[in-house]
Amino acid sequence: MSVVARPETLPLGGAPTFPSRMWWVAARSAEVGSDLLARRIADRPMVLYRTNEGAVVAIDDMCPHRWLPLSKGRREGDQVRCGYHGLLFNHDGSCAEVPSQPEVSTRVAVRTYAVIERAPWVWVWTGDGDDADPTEIPAYPWLTNPDWRMDEAYLPMAANYLRGHENVLDLSHFDYLHPGGLATQEWTRVRPSLSIEDGVLVEVRDLRSAPAAPNAAAMGVEPGSLVDRRNESRVPTPALHIATTTLRSPAGDGHEYHGAVLHAFTPETERTSHYFFAAARDWRVDDSEFDERFWQMALFTFNQDKDALEAVEQVALTHPGPLREFSVRSDKSGLRLRRLVKELIADEARGQAKSED
Ligand code: FES
Ligand SMILES: [Fe+2]
């Protein structure tokens, strides 16, 4: 028996969940080299590679002749040769050669995507090429601050990208999905303040004299001792969640620890996503043994999130009856984000309708 996807189980009812006029993280910079990297971004099959000069190129992963994915072909210098009948394409998408005939039509071309590389990631624009505005890519200075330590990784995730956003907006899951690591009852009880500033969702959790989570031992803070902790989450676009933390132990020397965790959720399809994350901190930056432990814990935690979200997506896909979510107070930010994304998609549709008039 085949399983039929029922679209009403998507986070936005039956509606599409991602806008097109958007910069998305398509890859870690480190993933893009001379090989052809096939990756579906917002339901567009792309192939990414780095030219001999070091620039990243993103083009449609589909030969316009008979549609073999170009990622099955090969590089020839900065060009790509299709692996079926050998059409050769320049990195600007134009056709350079058709082996079976002397002439090349200018109408044969591969779509190219605007690309901006901003360490540690490669961003692509899935709207019309002419509209691409690099200033719409949110800034994240923590990841390149030479005085901070930064690590980053990638997880493919078989779940809609908004489920990823909602997971990091509802920290009441810490005690139950991540016991022993991030857990502290305070995360479950605290009511974050929520605001929308110029279309950016901002959520702040301010914990005064709260017991430190078990993982605070890594900062030299006794687990269970009292700390002041401020967490600020910002979702500047549906492509990125930025969480910054300040932690201070009033009973200790009063030193402040700063950290930033960035979650880039990129839709692959409506049911799958690319999860890029990066963590940076300004403490124990030269301690590689600590770094290893810190990063292993982060990977362990994010894999717990991935497992849960994939299981949720499977329920949404396979449940036999109609499904309804039961929302509680801690869903407030996640539900607000759904509305913001819905509005963005509606604005986009209105803009398109206007330009077709
Ligand atoms: S499909 Fe690419 S050359 Fe024919
Ligand atoms: Fe989590």
Atom of ligand 1 nearest to the CA of 86: 3
Give residue 69 CA to ligand 2 midpoint distance, Å: 36
Residue 268 belongs to domain with CATH number = 3.90.380.10
Asked if 237 and 96 sit in the same domain, the reply is: no
User: Is the residue at 42 inside a domain?
Assistant: no
Q: Provide the β-strand partners of residue 153.
A: 277
Tell me the two tokens of residue 233. Answer: 């989450």
Q: Which ligand is nearest to the CA of 70?
A: 1
User: Is the residue at 53 inside a domain?
Assistant: no
Asked if 231 and 98 sit in the same domain, the reply is: no
User: Is the residue at 268 inside a domain?
Assistant: yes
Cα–Cα distance list, 281 to 132, 242, 257, 305 (Å): 32, 13, 8, 21
Atom of ligand 1 nearest to the CA of 70: 2
Give residue 356 CA to ligand 2 midpoint distance, Å: 43
Cα–Cα distance list, 70 to 58, 98, 126, 253, 291 (Å): 11, 15, 19, 58, 39
Q: Whose CA is nearest to atom 3 of ligand 1?
A: 85
Asked if 335 and 199 sit in the same domain, the reply is: yes
Asked if 198 and 77 sit in the same domain, the reply is: no
State the pLDDT at residue 220: 66
Q: Provide the β-strand partners of residue 25.
A: 123
Atom of ligand 1 nearest to the CA of 82: 2
Say what the pTM is: 0.93
Asked if 330 and 291 sit in the same domain, the reply is: yes
- Going residue by residue through the chain, which has 357 residues, state the pLDDT in tens, using 9 for 90 and above: 444 445 568 898 888 999 999 999 999 999 999 999 999 999 999 999 999 999 999 999 999 999 999 999 999 999 999 999 999 999 999 999 999 999 998 899 999 999 999 999 999 999 988 899 999 999 999 999 999 999 999 999 999 999 999 999 998 898 899 987 665 666 677 788 999 999 999 999 998 888 777 667 666 677 677 888 899 999 999 999 999 999 887 666 678 899 999 999 999 999 999 999 999 999 889 989 988 988 898 899 999 999 999 999 999 999 887 888 999 999 999 999 999 999 999 999 998 877 776
User: Is the residue at 89 inside a domain?
Assistant: yes
Q: What pLDDT digit, counting tens, does each position of 43-78 carry?
A: 999 999 999 999 999 999 999 999 999 999 999 999
Asked if 162 and 75 sit in the same domain, the reply is: no
The structural domain count of the chain equals 2
State the pLDDT at residue 190: 77
Task: Please indicate whether residue 66, judged by its CB atom, sits closer than 6 Å to ligand 1.
Answer: yes
Task: Please indicate whether residue 243, judged by its CB atom, sits closer than 6 Å to ligand 1.
Answer: no
Torsion of CA 306, 304, 318, 271, to 10 degrees: -10
User: Is the residue at 99 inside a domain?
Assistant: yes
Distance CA(37)–CA(34), nearest Å, equals 9
Distance CA(259)–CA(266), nearest Å, equals 23
Task: Please indicate whether residue 85, judged by its CB atom, sits closer than 6 Å to ligand 1.
Answer: yes
User: Is the residue at 32 inside a domain?
Assistant: no
Atom of ligand 1 nearest to the CA of 63: 2
E-strand spans in the chain?
23-28, 37-41, 44-50, 56-60, 74-76, 79-81, 88-89, 95-97, 112-113, 115-118, 121-125, 149-157, 193-197, 200-211, 226-237, 240-248, 256-267, 273-281
DSSP string, 1-65: -PPPP-GGGBTTBTS----SS-EEEEEEGGG-SSS-EEEEETTEEEEEEE-TTS-EEEEESS-TT
Find out whether 37 and 27 touch, Cβ atoms under 8 Å: yes
Find the domain containing 297 and state its range.
139-348
Nearest CA among 59, 55, 65 for reference residue 44: 59
Tell me the two tokens of residue 156. Answer: 């493919």
Task: Please indicate whether residue 111, judged by its CB atom, sits closer than 6 Å to ligand 1.
Answer: no
Of 89, 109, 129, the domain-final residue: 109
Asked if 95 and 148 sit in the same domain, the reply is: no
Task: Please indicate whether residue 84, judged by its CB atom, sits closer than 6 Å to ligand 1.
Answer: yes
Asked if 98 and 207 sit in the same domain, the reply is: no
Q: What pLDDT digit, counting tens, does each position of 224-240 carry?
A: 778 888 999 999 999 99
State the pLDDT at residue 219: 67
User: Is the residue at 35 inside a domain?
Assistant: no
Asked if 83 and 153 sit in the same domain, the reply is: no
Give residue 88 CA to ligand 1 midpoint distance, Å: 9
Asked if 72 and 183 sit in the same domain, the reply is: no
Give residue 81 CA to ligand 1 midpoint distance, Å: 9
Give residue 215 CA to ligand 2 midpoint distance, Å: 14
Asked if 239 and 324 sit in the same domain, the reply is: yes
Asked if 94 and 164 sit in the same domain, the reply is: no
Other C-beta atoms closer than 10 Å to the C-beta of 329 total 8
- Residue written as token pair 């006029």: 21
Task: Please indicate whether residue 80, judged by its CB atom, sits closer than 6 Å to ligand 1.
Answer: no
User: Is the residue at 5 inside a domain?
Assistant: no
Could you give the 3-state DSSP secondary structure of residue 327?
coil
